[in-house]
Chains A and B, each alone.
Chain A
């Protein structure tokens, strides 16, 4: 568990804004909505930072906020609009091969995550995308470690299955 969490808002932003940005995107916030979603997250952080008790890691605390914000945006925008935004972003940007590859990977991961239920998506974003240790995730979710591993296994299987379906569909 984290002790002595940073209480300086600017420091929190500087250190974790990129994490929140990635999390919001992975959780399905459309690119055009990211600025708004970031604002929402960090306004809440600004309000609540003083009351952050350090029982959770700062990253998982931020993720919990980002998750609620992203959920709001997903409900509001709808899946179709979200996919449209991602597709448009890929199609319209002029990039190097590496950038394009990364962007396509991001879009594919985001699209597959959007198909999963919330629990699986949260686990995969934290563990596979952000490399948060499973014990921390278990603490964040308030579940036993073994349960976290069990759910993670199911989430990984679901992701792999969805990926295989997409790959199969291309061939």
Chain B
């Protein structure tokens, strides 16, 4: 089966007052129908920009994008604005991080939902409203028929995110891009939302791109995961594979810094240092200033994204030899026993 979405060597550059900023620097991945792909990384690594580029939501005047984004064979980067508008909210939908600010405060949620329908379907208002109600019930808003006339500020954060999800799925898109959908919510609500997303994904058959900085979320929900660092992909594999055999020092750092319930530690392990400035990234491997395993070559040569031996799909970009990687990975997993794919 052909992939639903093919991102090939995507590069996005912003022109800022301080100079050009390469926010996405050669990102490639595929999304299959019904698949959940996670994109994980620190703030500013380019994961959100990648998805905004897919949707064409960057500011046109200051953004240049190269590469290809093939949606069912159609290159979205070269599509007309009209075509993009047809696709957005219809075939590809996106939900955002902060549900408190992502809904228009002066329109009822009913109106915003029906708007989403009427933009893409030639139906009457009543039919659109009925559809909106359907979705509200699907996302499990209690007493949906009463709440459909309420305003966003009358809902809690978790409820609002459900409404956002309803709005995104209302036209049965093939791809849902979820940009850190639970980051702004408390842990309990987070679990509920993730549960909901999994359910809906099965019911609707939608593919999901889950952007997150939280490996826990990835473990919960994703089939495949892309690890990004400083506008580049540093590791890409199936979830089980990456949790059992992580093959990049950054991924090790991410896993090591997860809080654990079943171990007593004095301090959370951090990855030392700060993410590099994208205006002036380091030479060679961008992670080398913070990497405990830096070698001379890391400072000169950008490590290419290459397969990791093992028989399954696993790409990584690191100069370390495979044997060292296996060894270090095993050491790490021992110390974080208890966390991982279950």
Partners in one complex: no
Q: Which residues of A contact B (CB under 8 A)?
A: none
